[in-house]
Amino acid sequence: MRAAIHLPQKRPVDAVMATRRAESFGKRSIKSASKGQALRLAIAMTDLTTLEGKDSPEKVRALCRKAISPAPALDAELRERGRAPIPSVAAVCVYPTLVRTAREALAGSGVKVASVATGFPSGQFPLEVRLDDTRRAVDDGADEIDMVISRGAFLAGEYARVADEIAAIREACGPAHLKVILETGELETLDAVRHASDIAIAAALACGPAADGEVFIKTSTGKVTPAATMPVVLVMLEAIRDAYRATGVRIGMKPAGGIRTAKAAIAQLVMVQETLGPEWLTPALFRFGASTLLNDLLRQIAKLEHGGYAARDDFAEA
């Protein structure tokens, strides 16, 4: 049974200090051995996504093949040299109508099936439609649901409505994990990002005990800019840190949108390490929603092995 949702107080954010601290994480010097480990970890944390009107079953199957084996030729070379192999990605994220296709293509691989639901990307559908959208995706085999909050309601100050909807959708998820998308590019300020993060966490946890990683907060749909900027992600990580101190539950984090290079991904990992600790450096608690990132991660691994960059088209697009 759902507990009463206690709406959190607003916590003002020092935007200047948050920006300055966030920028510092991109200036860390990382040795080659550590960089190789970080690149593989980032791949294992990536959610490959296709969310277009022209999505088809064959496109999803191709994406699933890449998710399971991102670079077969490079992987074979690494194995011959006794190097660590290229891991599979964490999940493939698709629209609900293609969940069954992804489930079949990923069977036995360990790669999760994620699905956007709840009237993605606008979140402007009636709640019953969004709940039905969620249930259908889970019934078809989704392991994870990426939902969008009602940004219009949030910006209008209807915080109780936003919280109630998040709690209802988490209940509709049943055994599936929930990622709550804030669409930070529409929230306008870091103060609003922090408040939305706190509301999302409180609402999701009001549905009963949660194991670590059953609930994530996520920056963006990938349809709005700016998206996963370093200051925004830092503010969300700090909300997760404070929630862990208060509840003992580790909430997951998913920056999505605008992370295109290995350098940017590693800076995010450094920020997670220094804000939350090494326990969060696992796909169970941290994800990248950045399909275009994967090929740059692979190119950087190839560079460490060969001493020079691979061509951009050496790794096939899904």
Element spanning 164, H or E: helix 159-173
Calculate the CA 40 to chain-centre distance.
17
- The model carries a pTM of 0.94
If you average pLDDT over residues 87-111, what whole number do you get? Answer: 98
Kind plus residue range of the DSSP H or E element containing 190: helix 190-205
Q: Amino acid identity of 20?
A: R
Task: Note the maximum CA span of the chain.
Answer: 59
pLDDT range class, residue 310, cuts 50, 70, 90: low
What percentage of the chain exceeds 70 in pLDDT? 96
Q: Indicate if the pLDDT at residue 31 is higher than 70.
A: yes
Residue 64 in tokens: 């699933």
Angle, alpha carbons 138-141-145 (nearest 5°): 45
Mean pLDDT of 198-227: 93
> Which residues, including other chains, have CB under 8 Å from residue 180's CB and lie 6 or more apart?
147, 149, 166, 200, 204, 215, 216, 217, 218
Three-state DSSP class for 169?
A: helix
Check residue 1 and give its pLDDT.
57
Choose the weakest-confidence range: 23-32, 88-97, 192-201, 236-245.
23-32
Query: Exposure string (b/e) for 122-133, b if CB count within 10 Å is 16 or more?
Result: ebebebeebbbb
Average pLDDT, the chain: 94
- pLDDT for the residue 156: 97
Instruction: Report the pLDDT value the prediction gives residue 33, as an integer from 0 to 100.
Output: 77
The predicted model gives 40-51 an average pLDDT of 97
Is residue 130 a contact partner of residue 169, using CB atoms and an 8 Å limit? yes
Band of residue 210 on the pLDDT scale cut at 50, 70, 90: confident
Domain range list for the chain: 32-301
Q: What is the mean pLDDT of residues 220-226?
A: 91
Q: First-to-last CA distance in the chain?
A: 42
pLDDT value at residue 311: 58
Among 127-136, 148-157, 261-270, 298-307, the range scoring the smallest mean pLDDT is 298-307
pLDDT computed for residue 18 by the predictor: 97
Lowest mean pLDDT among 23-32, 65-74, 157-166: 23-32
What is the pLDDT, as a whole number, of residue 238? 98
**Extended strands (E) in the chain:** 47-49, 91-94, 112-116, 144-148, 177-181, 215-218, 252-254
Residue 168 pLDDT class (50, 70, 90 cuts): very high
E-assigned strand segments in 56-200 = 91-94, 112-116, 144-148, 177-181
Task: Looking at the structure, give the CATH architecture of the domain made up of residues 32-301.
Answer: Alpha-Beta Barrel (3.20)
- Residues acting as catalytic residues: 146, 218, 254
